[in-house]
Amino acid sequence: MKQVIKFPLMRSVGFDGLLVTFADTMTESSNRAALALRSAVEHLDLDGVIETSASLASTYIRFDPRQLPHSRIKGQVQQVLDQRNWYDAPLPSGRRLIQVPTVYGTDLAPQLDEAAAAAGLSTDEAIERLGQSRVRVLTIGFAPGQPYLGPLGPEFNIPRLKELTPIVPEGALVLAISQFVLFSGPTPTGWRHVGQTAFRCFRPEMTQSFALNPGDEMQFVPISRDDLEDIRATCTDGSGGATCTEIPS
């Protein structure tokens, strides 16, 4: 018999954490709920809370249980949860749209053709659809500053590869399960490498080390290989020629 799980679900994480999960798959509304609850918990400004984050469909709160017992923070968070329907909460304010010049395919991003085929599209059609998609930073994680972006159209709900690609470079745009990841460093991956940018998500040498925030939107605008070479030669701030505009709330 399958156990029915009631969301949102509140569970403890190790010694010093609490996790509120809004769904067992990534959906637009569960991600929005996770971001909004995180913001609300931050606003409570509870003594004993150390840090918070939001993943694809959950809000995480780390605290010192010697100062703020598990039972007390659970009660506090439950009160906040009861205040509204979090699945239709608005997105955080101060979001930005970041449009990043991107080379699709070529030897720079050699798995575009097979990704297009897996999506049942021609390569040109795939470039057009991916290049027009406005995706949201669903969460940042795994590596510093590295965004999970989505959702892409259902045609891009393609599985991860069984074999890992040994290494893709920083700035690689990879695709699987209707999401992009924009890699913040060279890494092996089971996602398909469909685009290449000169955008650096993590810029430790700069005052603002992290380029993105959860909730920001991104668009990966098709450019030629030569254009990317120009950007690499002239753009030294890590933005990879991206433009950034505020999204009115």
Partner 1 sequence: MTLAVHRIGPACTIQDQGRTGYLDQGLSRSGAADALALYEGAALLGQSPTCAALEMAGMGGEFEATAPTAFALTGAPMQASVDGSPIAWDASHLLEPGQRLVIGSVLQGSYGYLHLGGGIDAEVFLGSRSTHLTARIGQAVQAGDLLPATGTGRTGMKLRTDDRFSGGVLRVVASFQTSLFDDETLARFTQTDFRRGARANRMGMQLDSEGEGFAAKGQLNILSEVITPGDIQMTGSGNPFILLPECQTTGGYPRIATVLPCDMPRAAQTPAGAQVRFQFVTLEQAVALQSAYAADLARLPGHVEPLVRDPHDIPDLLSYQLISGMISATD
Q: Which residues bind partner 1 (CB under 8 A)?
A: 11-17, 19, 21, 24-26, 38, 50-58, 60, 62, 65-66, 69-70, 139-146, 148, 184-185, 202, 204, 209-210, 214
Of 122 and 209, nearer to partner 1 (C-beta) is: 209
Backbone conformation region of residue 171, classed left if phi is above 0, alpha if psi is from -120 to 50, else beta? left
**Closest approach of partner 1 to the CB of residue 186, in Å:** 9
Each as own residue / partner, the long-range contacts of residues 200-203 (CB below 8 Å, 24 or more positions apart, any chain) are 200/170, 200/171, 200/238, 200/239, 200/240, 201/144, 201/145, 201/146, 201/147, 202/143, 202/144, 202/145, 202/146, 203/145, 203/238
Of 14 and 248, nearer to partner 1 (C-beta) is: 14
**Closest approach of partner 1 to the CB of residue 229, in Å:** 24
Of 116 and 179, nearer to partner 1 (C-beta) is: 179
Of 127 and 175, nearer to partner 1 (C-beta) is: 175
Residues 195 and 211: their CA atoms lie apart, in Å, by: 19
Residues 135 and 145: their CA atoms lie apart, in Å, by: 16
The DSSP output letter for 238 is S
**Closest approach of partner 1 to the CB of residue 25, in Å:** 6
**Closest approach of partner 1 to the CB of residue 210, in Å:** 5
How is residue 25 written in tokens? 């798959």
**Closest approach of partner 1 to the CB of residue 223, in Å:** 27
Of 2 and 107, nearer to partner 1 (C-beta) is: 2
Residues 96 and 213: their CA atoms lie apart, in Å, by: 9
**241 contacts 207 by C-beta, under 8 angstroms:** no
**Closest approach of partner 1 to the CB of residue 157, in Å:** 14
**Closest approach of partner 1 to the CB of residue 55, in Å:** 6
Of 56 and 223, nearer to partner 1 (C-beta) is: 56
Of 14 and 166, nearer to partner 1 (C-beta) is: 14
Burial of 87 (0-12, 13-18, 19+ CB in 10 A): middle
CB atoms under 10 Å from CB of 121, counted, come to 18
